[in-house]
Chains A and B, each alone.
Chain A
């Protein structure tokens, strides 16, 4: 509920930043062009930020840089008040949980419960506390009945829920989703996103989601567009999606309502300027219908 209230008010920028990046550059040895080229951004606490861009634009690298999985060649970053460096990185990893793209490849444990416990084992949580936290985390993602199942018997969406539970058990401040829904079917994707949305409200989390899915981006508080390692746009979803044609030039597509609007306009029906979400679009269509 909290999430929906915040979404309407659009006051996210007033919160203190939880992630800052200043002039961050990452260069892979085998590539000529840097993967990230002087990126500067801030992400307010308790917000949902979507990071969009076409394949190879540097989205995943950005997440990995924040978590210290790739070393940066220039610039500075802070996560939850800590500067990202060798010394702080293990503390930062406790505060920032990452759900990766491939549900199969991030499943460490032999069973669901073992996998959720993996991070807790690393954090040296004593066993009695671990049992409670594993049970609680599985409950939160609705996977309690599957605790003793092996990964081979789970669907992609269920594996992603387990990955989320594994991170929740560690009680982070930020959850980064690195295209976490891209390998799921529409149903699995919707259910994983629903889970995240509920959790964000319950746990007062900050969500940073890297995505191709524009419906997912449309639900965020804030959208950041990156292209070829550069930050090209940043704003609320309506601000970003109102750029329609410019998005398509960057190799992205536009959300369904924006597409519908373009098609309607091509057919001679004019709608008010600016991005409309599904409800607003429906309202506009009713209005049009009644005046016809």
Chain B
């Protein structure tokens, strides 16, 4: 569990950490879209260098980014191999039935490889440098326009933040229930598939019941502190847009210009 880097957050005070989370989310998604426009060595070099620069700016050790890519390594190799053996074009070196090794295939495989690595590195960068709290704040802020179509944005935002806040609580509880059931002789992770699924029930039901208790108590506590779903509220946590965020938008605009300039005509 500790090895998994997906969704992990590493606190820090680098330039990337301090960016407005709304801007960061939008720009990362934009970047992923942009990567698909790269179609030659120069454009890949541009987005690749940009990614490397962004990664270096986080001042997070490269090993963490490597760990982000690790779980996807088989997927990357698989895709690359399919590209290598099934693409025909350019000079064909070797062919056998549907398989072929061609210059176009090799080039395509390299491109796919870089594309996947860059996308994973950039999304790892987003989660490593943005706290879940900031992500939920940013998402609710980005959802604000949906108020016009009567989406209860504030309630969704509160639900999201409560859900995030209870993740560690429920994780602890799961471990406690598992240990309590183990102490009573329940065997997890062995036996046939059907037996293993059955062994989950003594975890799931107590967890479900205790989640209900949490909810009831939290409901009382929130009501006692004056929370009303229909009443307007003020906000304690506000996200601020700084000059560095404007600069990062400018950097992404420049990157876009370069990518489109060096693209094949």
Report, as a range, how many residues of chain B touch the other chain. 20 to 34
Residue of B nearest to A119 (CB): B225
B176 adjacent to chain A (CB < 8 Å): no
Q: Within 8 Å CB of B227, what residues of A?
A: 108, 118, 122
Nearest-neighbor residue (CB-CB) of B136 within chain A: A110
Q: Does A125 contact B (CB under 8 A)?
A: yes
A124 CB-CB contact with B under 8 Å: yes
Shortest Cβ distance from residue A164 to the other chain B in the assembled complex, whole angstroms? 12
Q: Are B165 and A100 in touch, CB under 8 angstroms? A: no
B221 contact from A105, A114, A151, Cβ within 8 A:
A105
B236–A110 CB distance below 8 A: no
**Which residue on chain B has the smallest CB distance to residue A124?**
B234
A241 within 8 A of B: no
Task: Tell whether, in the assembled complex, residue B221 and residue A100 are in contact, meaning their CB atoms are under 8 Å apart.
Answer: yes
A110 near B161: Cβ-Cβ < 8 Å: yes
Q: Is the CB of B220 within 8 A of A69?
A: yes
Most buried by A among B172, B217, B224, B235: B224
With a CB–CB cut-off of 8 A, which chain B residues contact A130?
234, 236
Bound form: Cα–Cα A131–B157 in Å:
21
Q: Determine how close the nearest CB of chain A comes to the CB of B236; give it in whole angstroms.
A: 4
B61 within 8 A of A: no
Q: Which residues of B in the span 158-185 have a Cβ within 8 Å of any Cβ on A?
A: 161-162, 164-165, 168-169, 172
A105 to chain B, nearest CB (A): 4
Knowing A105-B214, A106-B221, A121-B234, say if A111 contacts B168 (CB, 8 Å): no
State how many angstroms separate the Cβ of B139 from the closest Cβ of chain A: 13
- Interface residue? A97 (CB, 8 A): yes
Contacts of B213 in A (CB 8 A): 105
Q: What A residues does B231 contact at CB under 8 A?
A: 122, 124
A213 adjacent to chain B (CB < 8 Å): no
Q: Does B53 contact A (CB under 8 A)?
A: no
Known: A110-B133, A151-B165. A119 touches B238 (CB 8 A): no
Q: Does A166 contact B (CB under 8 A)?
A: yes
What 1/0 mask marks residues of chain B from 60 to 100 whose CB sits below 8 Å from any chain A CB?
A: 00000000000000000000000000000000000000000
Contact B233 A108 (CB under 8 A): no
**Chain B interface (Cβ < 8 Å from any Cβ of A):** 132-133, 136, 161-162, 164-165, 168-169, 172, 213-214, 217-218, 220-228, 231-238
User: Contact residues of A with B, CB < 8 Å?
Assistant: 64, 67, 69, 90, 93-94, 97-98, 100, 102, 104-111, 113-114, 117-127, 130-131, 134, 150-152, 163, 166-167, 170
